[in-house]
Amino acid sequence: DADVTQTPRNRITKTGKRIMLECSQTKGHDRMYWYRQDPGLGLRLIYYSFDVKDINKGEISDGYSVSRQAQAKFSLSLESAIPNQTALYFCATSDARGASGGYNEQFFGPGTRLTVL
């Protein structure tokens, strides 16, 4: 079974709709992250959370919100989707204790491909 799962894997929605992307992990990691990938731009950080009570904005948080429902769950919401939010979205986790094999090594989910029409 995958350690980091994302649902849905693919989603097509319309401008103005609210949409939620969900991430779950079984790695027991404290830290969780949301990234988006656009062609030619690599991965950019949207939000990150170091524990259930901690939420931080990344470099491109405008138009997004997050919720850390539990240590294992971190969801990303688009309150009113717009076409330039069409992208590949990745959730990632890391171990705050650095015991997972590498300093700040992050483990990624399989991604959600979101299309906003």
Partner 1 sequence: DQQVKQNSPSLSVQEGRISILNCDYTNSMFDYFLWYKKYPAEGPTFLISISSIKDKNEDGRFTVFLNKSAKHLSLHIVPSQPGDSAVYFCAASAGSSYKLIFGSGTRLLVRP
CA dist 7 and 10 (Å) reads 8
In this structure, are residues 15 and 116 in contact, taking their beta carbons and an 8 Å threshold? yes
Is residue 1 part of the contact set for partner 1 (CB under 8 A)?
no
Q: Is the Cα torsion angle 39, 41, 42, 44 positive or negative in sign?
A: negative
Is residue 45 part of the contact set for partner 1 (CB under 8 A)?
yes
Q: Closer to partner 1 at the Cβ: 26 or 80?
A: 26
Question: Which of the residues 69 through 108 are near partner 1 (CB under 8 A)?
Answer: 90, 92, 94, 96, 102-108
Size of the chain, expressed as the number of residues it contains: 117
Is residue 110 part of the contact set for partner 1 (CB under 8 A)?
yes
Question: Which of the residues 13 through 32 are near partner 1 (CB under 8 A)?
Answer: 31
| Strand-pair partners of 91 | 34
Q: In the complex, which residues of this chain contact partner 1 (CB under 8 A)?
A: 4, 31, 35, 40-45, 48, 50, 58, 90, 92, 94, 96, 102-111
